[in-house]
Amino acid sequence: MAATILDGKALAIKCKERVRKAAKTLSRRPGLAVIIVGDDPASRVYVNSKRRDGEECGFYSEEYALPDTTRQDELISLVESLNARADIDGILVQLPLPGGLDEEAVLMAISPEKDVDGFHPLNMGALLIGKEGFVPCTPAGIMEILEEYGIDPKGKRCVVIGRSNIVGKPMALLLLQKHGTVTVCHSRTTDLAQVCREADILVAAVGKVNLVTADMVKPGAVVIDVAMNRDESGNLCGDVAYDEVAEIASAITPVPGGVGPMTRALLMENTLKAAQKHLGVD
Ligand code: NAP
């Protein structure tokens, strides 16, 4: 039986429409500031799409495109000035930063209430202990996909491949919060295939083309492909050998059109949430 395609693109359109409607009811437009340093072409594409998403949702947005010669103290003082602005609810620093800039220090400088990416240690800590805070957009978007398609992690064996702070770890915590039994794999995991075969829900967040093949997937499993890679022909693809895995999985996210659009939609949701908090609206 062919797998259900988990259509993140369609769901993202619905989410953004919900955000747009809610934003219209506020006394002012939610404000999002995006900072990009240097001229990495992929980062430029991401920033452009975030700006477009913001426009679609009726947000006020500001973009700061800084040269790669920008000093750490200059970047931090820009963040601090945005922290102090009443009309800016969310601040996003596009990663990766050029070498020589300390990403951790820059992320730490963002006020946790404006940290719509959810990367500040205070928000990460809130997630760990199950308190309210901003959740990183990619894993939060995946949880919305699961919910939309009625896939409940409760009691399921969940395997997350990848343990980065922005995807793998928060993904594991969110699945755990929903009562999944979670295993996290990484580059030192022995017999990755064997561990993956136990998964009812398998999330691949590595960045390696064809890492997950059909023999690593339990028949009927739900497969979430987070990665954004380029294949030999330069086409966008994930970690999962899509065609063969789609034949045995019960549901699968495509790349593109799966997790990516929901990551962007969640940034809009987080910015709306920040604005609602700043304006004292629940
Ligand atoms: P990352 O920081 O490079 O982390 C990759 C993880 O994969 C690490 O934990 C690494 O293990 C693990 N790994 C590497 N080789 C492995 C192997 N052979 N077997 C098992 N695990 C292995 O990457 P990331 O930022 O989490 O991103 C992961 C992928 O998702 C990338 O392709 C990225 O472009 C994509 N992404 C997509 C979105 C989206 O919106 N769709 C958002 C964010 C990221 P160690 O910890 O041991 O090194």
> 263-281: per-residue pLDDT in tens?
999 999 999 999 999 999 9
Q: What distance in Å separates the CA atoms of residue 44 and residue 38, rounded to the nearest whole number?
A: 9
Q: Which of 187, 225, 266 to mutate to test the pocket of ligand 1 (most atoms within 8 A of CB)?
A: 187
Q: State the Cα angle at 95 between 233 and 260, rounded to 5°.
A: 50
Tell me the pairing of strands 157-161 and 222-225: unpaired
- The answer on pLDDT for 1 being more than 90 is no
136-259 placed in CATH 3.90.1150.10: no
Q: According to the model, what pLDDT value does residue 164 have? A: 97
Instruction: Say if ligand 1 is within 6 A of residue 227 CB.
Output: yes
Architecture of domain 29-111: 3-Layer(aba) Sandwich (3.40)
The per-residue pLDDT for range 85-112, each reduced to its tens digit, is: 999 999 999 999 999 999 999 999 999 9
Return the C-alpha torsion angle 262, 122, 89, 227, nearest 10: -20
Q: Record the pTM.
A: 0.98
Quick check: is 117 catalytic?
yes
Q: According to the model, what pLDDT value does residue 282 have? A: 73
- Indicate the average pLDDT of the chain: 97
The pair phi, psi for residue 256, each rounded to 5°, is -80, 175
Q: What distance in Å separates the CA atoms of residue 252 and residue 35, rounded to the nearest whole number?
A: 33
Average pLDDT over residues 46-61: 96
Q: According to the model, what pLDDT value does residue 97 have? A: 97
Quick check: is 50 catalytic?
yes
The per-residue pLDDT for range 218-234, each reduced to its tens digit, is: 999 999 999 999 999 99
In this structure, are residues 250 and 4 in contact, taking their beta carbons and an 8 Å threshold? yes
Which residue has the CA at smallest separation from atom 18 of ligand 1?
A: 187
Q: According to the model, what pLDDT value does residue 2 have? A: 86
The domain spans of the chain are 29-111, 136-259
Which residue has the CA at smallest separation from atom 17 of ligand 1?
A: 187
* Same fold for the pair 29-111 and 136-259: yes
- The answer on pLDDT for 250 being more than 80 is yes
Annotated catalytic residue, options 16, 53, 89, 94: 94
The per-residue pLDDT for range 151-189, each reduced to its tens digit, is: 999 999 999 999 999 999 999 999 999 999 999 999 999
